[in-house]
Amino acid sequence: MVMDGPLRARVKLSRGPFHLDAAFDVGVGEVLAVVGPSGAGKSSGLAAIAGLLGLDSGRVSLGDEVWSDTDSGTDWPPYRRRVGFVHQDYALFPHLSVLGNILYGARARGGSRNASQTRAREWLDRLGLRALAGQPIAALSGGQRQRVALARALASGAGALLLDEPFGSLDVSTRAAVRRELGEFLGEVQLPTVFVTHDPTDALTLADRIAILEEGKVSQLGPCEELLARPQTSFVADLFGLNFYRGDMEAGEGLREVRVGPVTFHVLGKGNPGPVMLAFPPSAVTLSLDKPAGSAQNTFQGIVSETHPLPEKMRVVLDCGVTVAADVVREAALSLGLAHWQRMWISIKATAIQVYS
């Protein structure tokens, strides 16, 4: 497969009250996950890259090919853009066989019948679909349909991939296996890939970088580790299940105070006093019925407001003037006798709290 170069998109468009203003640069072989709340513009961004939505201003290119450029008036129609678009429901043709669907992709951008047949059968083999070539789409599992949709997209000669909620139609029992299979395949084809998802597990498992889209703008973009360590918005922190606060750090050295509403956190902070952000995982929070005698620098009381069962753990949400989430193993949760409106002691070590601006 020819390496075309990076996919670069500067996308600005308005539809009524909605405005999208976002930029995505995706390198060869890189996978970028676009995550955000409903209505943030995730699918609109993919549609603009594919040419299904026109730009008010901006530029979209793949390597040296410029697909859209409002400054020069360039606007290639979707069929000319060498992009494979896999929709959430896969948009396969039910009246065609597996091979027929892939052949449609191979012929979509021209080429002789013989060349298209050869290309379609190549992708049929590469995605392990040969035994299903004559099967109707209705006879396939969700994972098999995803592979057919990918084969059809790639048989068209795509130089980049766009995946819109690629696991949205899969049941829980097959999702992990199909996710792993897709990750291996994307590593093999080495195309710039943008995929939209609402599931943080999908993003953390498959993506090299994550772009957070909120209200039509990219609020944070970076490697997975960076978003986990230093979320910039409440949405990012909630997405990954982190406690997140904005506060003011006092002057000093070593152990310093950060005021967050009525609560004062003690942290190991550096730099000038002033506005900072704090983040720590629920696993860093210890709960107890009695005031702890340990070395935790942050000890205060809170009232249980919510409990949520997790695999092997219990997520406990407490109100102590600010909201704090704690993860407690099931045995400990039983011994604490957790109940709504119960008063608990909360302990957090200063070393567990990330401090950044």
The average confidence (pLDDT) of the chain is 91
Residue 46 resides in a domain: yes
Lowest mean pLDDT among 109-123, 183-197, 304-318: 109-123
How far is Cα 160 from Cα 84, in angstroms, rounded to an integer? 6
How far is Cα 122 from Cα 182, in angstroms, rounded to an integer? 18
Q: How much is the pLDDT for 145?
A: 86
pLDDT digit string (tens) for 187-243?
Answer: 888 999 999 998 898 999 999 999 999 999 999 999 999 999 999 999 999 999 999
Contacts (Cβ under 8 Å, ≥6 apart) of 199: 167
Q: Are residues 198 and 95 in the same domain?
A: yes
Give the confidence band of 128 by pLDDT, cuts at 50, 70, 90.
confident
Q: Are residues 143 and 224 in the same domain?
A: yes
Q: Are residues 208 and 309 in the same domain?
A: no
Residue 197 resides in a domain: yes
Tokens 């697909």 map to which residue? 67
Q: Are residues 99 and 70 in the same domain?
A: yes
Q: Are residues 179 and 258 in the same domain?
A: no
Q: How much is the pLDDT for 329?
A: 92
How far is Cα 79 from Cα 134, in angstroms, rounded to an integer? 26
Tokens 């961004």 map to which residue? 45
Residue 2 resides in a domain: no
- Count the alpha carbons within 13 Å of 345 in the hemisphere toward its beta carbon: 12
Q: Please determine, for residue 98, whether its predicted confidence score (pLDDT) is greater than 50.
A: yes
Q: Which of 236, 256, 288 is the last residue of a domain?
A: 236
Q: Are residues 117 and 204 in the same domain?
A: yes
- Count the alpha carbons within 13 Å of 81 in the hemisphere toward its beta carbon: 25
pLDDT digit string (tens) for 139-149?
Answer: 888 888 888 88
Q: How much is the pLDDT for 87?
A: 84
Terminus-to-terminus CA distance in the chain, angstroms?
A: 43
How far is Cα 293 from Cα 277, in angstroms, rounded to an integer? 28
Q: Are residues 226 and 251 in the same domain?
A: no
Lowest mean pLDDT among 255-264, 282-291, 293-302, 316-325: 293-302
Give the confidence band of 37 by pLDDT, cuts at 50, 70, 90.
very high
Q: What is the mean pLDDT of residues 283-296?
A: 89
Q: Are residues 232 and 248 in the same domain?
A: no
In degrees rounded to 5, what are phi and psi of residue 210?
-125, 135
pLDDT digit string (tens) for 40-59?
Answer: 999 999 999 999 999 999 99
CB 231 within 8 A of CB 220: yes
Residue 349 neighbours by CB distance under 10 Å: 17
Q: How much is the pLDDT for 25?
A: 96
Tokens, residue 107: 């012929």
Residue 298 resides in a domain: yes
Q: How many domains does the chain have?
A: 2
How far is Cα 194 from Cα 77, in angstroms, rounded to an integer? 20
Residue 344 resides in a domain: yes
Q: Are residues 255 and 191 in the same domain?
A: no
Residue 323 resides in a domain: yes
Q: Are residues 274 and 219 in the same domain?
A: no
Q: Please determine, for residue 28, whether its predicted confidence score (pLDDT) is greater than 90.
A: yes
Give the confidence band of 116 by pLDDT, cuts at 50, 70, 90.
confident
Q: How much is the pLDDT for 3?
A: 57
Contacts (Cβ under 8 Å, ≥6 apart) of 267: 249, 255, 256, 257, 258, 278, 350, 353, 355
> What range defines the domain where residue 26 resides?
7-236
Q: Where are the alpha helices (DSSP H) in 108-258?
A: 113-126, 142-155, 172-189, 200-206, 224-229, 234-239
Sign of CA dihedral 334, 305, 355, 24: positive
Q: Which of 182, 203, 236 is the last residue of a domain?
A: 236
Q: Are residues 323 and 223 in the same domain?
A: no
CATH number at residue 44: 3.40.50.300
Give the confidence band of 248 by pLDDT, cuts at 50, 70, 90.
very high
Contacts (Cβ under 8 Å, ≥6 apart) of 220: 210, 211, 212, 227, 231, 232, 233, 236
Residue 11 resides in a domain: yes
Q: Which of 236, 256, 275 is the last residue of a domain?
A: 236
Q: Which amino acid is located at 202 in the chain? A: D
Q: Please determine, for residue 2, whether its predicted confidence score (pLDDT) is greater than 70.
A: no
CATH number at residue 254: 2.40.50.100
Quick one: angle between helices 142-155 and 98-107, nearest 10? 30
Three-state SS for 62? strand
Q: Which amino acid is located at 107 in the chain? A: R
Strand segments (E) across 183-284: 193-197, 209-214, 217-223, 243-249, 255-260, 263-268, 274-280
Q: Please determine, for residue 263, whether its predicted confidence score (pLDDT) is greater than 90.
A: yes
How far is Cα 179 from Cα 204, in angstroms, rounded to an integer? 11
How far is Cα 175 from Cα 179, in angstroms, rounded to an integer? 6
Q: Are residues 169 and 221 in the same domain?
A: yes
Lowest mean pLDDT among 49-53, 108-112, 158-162, 251-255: 108-112
**Widest CA span in the chain:** 78
pTM: 0.86
Residue 1 resides in a domain: no
How far is Cα 152 from Cα 155, in angstroms, rounded to an integer? 5
How far is Cα 192 from Cα 3, in angstroms, rounded to an integer? 10
How far is Cα 199 from Cα 181, in angstroms, rounded to an integer? 17
Higher pLDDT, 250 or 334: 250
